[in-house]
Chain A
């Protein structure tokens, strides 16, 4: 029976640009070759045993560049500022090939960027040496009396490691020249300013350098490298004083001490900020600013609604995942909205609302979870119609990590159809891309079933029961790994996804990429498998996922030089 089922499935998916994979089977985790899904056919099915994959050390760049978010946060923490300083807003935006902007191996320093760095470094150095108090903050809260110790302290914080003797000597030379260039400042502030200018333009500041090496398959990072991985993973910023101290005395290499640091850092607001950044990038939040609708067709739309969409998502994530300590299951199923008067109008909520956001429990079964929020729905829609194809692609890529191939180069527009024969958008898409058409391979099995679930939401995300005066059909099914699961509507589909390994594996995979500051690598499969499995079985909160990942052996090591 199992063989017969696999054969049928394979045949179906071969049409998907020739790939012989199940929707979730690209990386060999739960939904793929080691999947746990039960067969869909019933009868004498054989429950497959999940093959436990090895957890391999991290591979990748030894010098990933700081992302602009990381730069901004690092500058804030280095200067001891309560808020970010905004200097990176003038930087040229980065482009990376993966989901997140912190894929350091893709980030380069062009002439333009170098100019930006130089400008920002000089400004940061100026601010850090405005007076003794500012310099004390830059030195980590205590101002050494000795100039050499001051340079060492500044260097340790900027490089996130102890300076070498050679580096210390070079910087002391610069320190001595400071008064030549900043004659209106005290010699100490002037020297520190020039030293900071050099530190902040150094590759050891701009890159997260990892030089630990060895012949074995696993090479342990040294304590400073580990501290950097941890802080840039959880905080998108430099290690704080306590973490640097634990690196300096080597205690961070002790598993218990390391876990204690992780616990401390997970409770810090900077981890919450990272959780927000992660979801903002995963959900393409920045694109909300480009959403436009005709106010004739959609009178609820206004330019201000864009920010309301973003605010709802931020508040939802905060309530569910940060303050509420939930995980991906809750993010997909929580039945609450955070609305101002603009969003309330789109949602058709009864009651009185103003510009203040308030939590509203969603009890009518029409909404719940991230994917029935206006932001996701309106972003993945045309100016007049819902867009099941892009909604479906998003779910496949971002929620399920299904290996969709790239679309063909020349995608013809969807035919308008005969105006005398009214049809729903779903019907038109099905005729064009469904079974028996050239788009059947990907669309009918992966994209359309995921997108059609959200057909009750129009181009702005408003609920609708009809489309083109015909009843909306939001029922469909999707093969999760090896199991076909049915649902009716976006809420049900999210409920289904919340209980499927494919979703949990995908969420773990995204977090692994984000924490490591790099793209996905096949060697990540083993770790993803373990974390995804635990996320589903143990109902892990986001912070639990983070802890599991950063306490894993792969996170603490890198592949050896074999």
Chain B
């Protein structure tokens, strides 16, 4: 059993010009914070709202009742709802309905909504990319605690580089938009330090290093066990030995070959037709990075602010999702009607849930160091910065959570947040990651200070 708590993982340092691909040289020099248990958070964001109660298409997303849910009801009475896709994980799900983004959206419903989602902060206002969050987002806040200060959370975007509203989910500080990676291949290369060397070359490198390490480990062990060594010398040699072991784990902590191949296959990640595939690859990488303790926090934005992706579902390429959400072939208020727009929107919702399920599948494919799977140590989140298609409201945004952060969340239920503010959801996520205030009490004050403090009622175990 690896003693994970002693591991130090690193991010890229750059500037090392050596001939071979080097895993370790790209690892960060920041020591991860000392934590008693490793927990992980990934937040996925979609745009344009969902088809739910309060919109123009009735309730087609959530289970029919609040309270406990089961796989049976999700597959039975609620089989038509988008969330039924997640039935396999019923007991690990926590649905939070009607979460309000608290600050006004006077210029653009999209532009001024996304910055609030993970910050619970007001914004500078403005349409397009002008609206900037006035505070740090929860992924950065948690990265400090879970990765250690200085290491950034993973920040992905399945979408184009430039857009009317580009990436706006993650904020490293007030008005500091976090850069989002668009290319899974680039992320993979950076996290591993791999060059473009063929897989066979990389395999040989790993094998060669293992040969060397086998020898070194034996020598270290012999020295450490030499009775002439002082206690302090033994401790230092033991630390060295641990470092070698840790690096061996790192070397063998490979992304499964089929996933690596899929990551490598995407050479133009910003294109419309690969959008869902890019999202899946980012999920693969996040789960793998969590498993290897390369990072503990990730976010992913799917599509730009008013997501205009033409999703390809069951072989059919749909109109722009933003058009669908407006129910017309237009980004504005005038245009030719899309006759089956509500159905198409519900179809996209269901497709989004299949994407989210991919993340749950990936997290479940890795065993936990504490028993169960990596999903049990994590909280995976899917959210949308709007409530419904029309009227693009933001007082009933959906939050779909899975995993319990190692038993921190009361899962297997639907909670109606009753249009209370998003800051309480973010407090809940922070607490679910095992982070508490200095006095040990639950965190209740993330986000703008004017917002009512607290957590989502009934979401946290023992709170």
Contact = CB atoms under 8 A, between A and B. Distances in A.
Nearest to B222: A203
A203 B216 contact: yes
B27 interface: yes
A61 B8 contact: no
Nearest to B24: A115
Interface stretch (A116-124, A244-252, A267-275, A466-474): A116-124
Contact of A115 (B10, B207, B229, B237): B10
User: Residue among A112, A115, A118, A202 with the most chain B CB within 10 A?
Assistant: A115
Nearest to A200: B212
B233 A63 contact: yes
B216 A202 contact: yes
A174 B20 contact: no
Nearest to A122: B20
Contacts of A123: 18-19
A188 interface: no
Contact of B24 (A108, A118, A126): A118
Nearest to A104: B236
A240 B239 CA distance: 31
Contacts of A307: none
Contact of A181 (B18, B23, B208, B242): B208
Contacts of A115: 10, 22-25, 27, 247
A109 interface: yes
A65 interface: yes
Interface in B212-256: 212-213, 215-216, 219-220, 223, 226, 228-230, 232-233, 236-237, 239-240, 242-244, 246-247
A113 interface: yes
B16 A111 contact: no
Question: How would you classify the secondary structure of chain A's contact residues: helix, strand, loop or mixed?
Answer: helix
Interface string A175-210: 001001100000000000010011001111001010
B7 A203 contact: no
A203 B237 contact: yes
Nearest to B16: A90
Interface in B231-284: 232-233, 236-237, 239-240, 242-244, 246-247
A213 interface: yes
A119 B233 contact: no
A203 B219 contact: yes
A204 B223 CA distance: 9
Nearest to B228: A213
Given A194-B211, A198-B215, A109 B243 contact: yes
A10 B188 CA distance: 68
Contacts of A197: 208, 212
A170 interface: yes
A4 interface: no
A92 interface: yes
Given A112-B27, A194-B208, A194-B211, A201 B15 contact: no
A277 B378 CA distance: 51
Contacts of A111: 7-10, 27, 242-243, 246-247
Nearest to B229: A62
Interface in B308-328: none
B29 interface: yes
A8 interface: no
Interface string A57-99: 0000111010000000000000000000000001010000000
A105 B229 CA distance: 12
Given A108-B236, A111-B246, A198-B215, A561 B228 contact: yes
Interface size class of B (residues with CB under 8 A): 35 or more
A115 B26 CA distance: 9
Contacts of B230: 61-62
Nearest to A182: B208
A476 B164 CA distance: 73
A122 B18 contact: yes
Contact of A105 (B9, B208, B232, B242): B232
B209 interface: yes
B249 to A, nearest CB: 10
A112 B22 contact: no
Contacts of A201: 212-213, 216
Contact of B240 (A114, A194, A198): A114
A211 interface: yes
Given A114-B244, A119-B25, A174 B8 contact: no
Nearest to B9: A111
Contacts of B209: 118
Contacts of B228: 62, 211, 213, 561
Contacts of B229: 62-63
A174 B207 CA distance: 12
A108 B223 contact: no
B1 interface: no
A509 B442 CA distance: 54
A295 interface: no
B13 interface: yes
A296 interface: no
Interface string B198-214: 00000011011101110
Given A61-B233, A198-B216, 9 more contacts: A62-B228, A63-B237, A108-B236, A111-B27, A114-B247, A174-B212, A180-B208, A207-B223, A561-B228
5 contacts: A62-B228, A63-B223, A65-B236, A114-B247, A116-B24
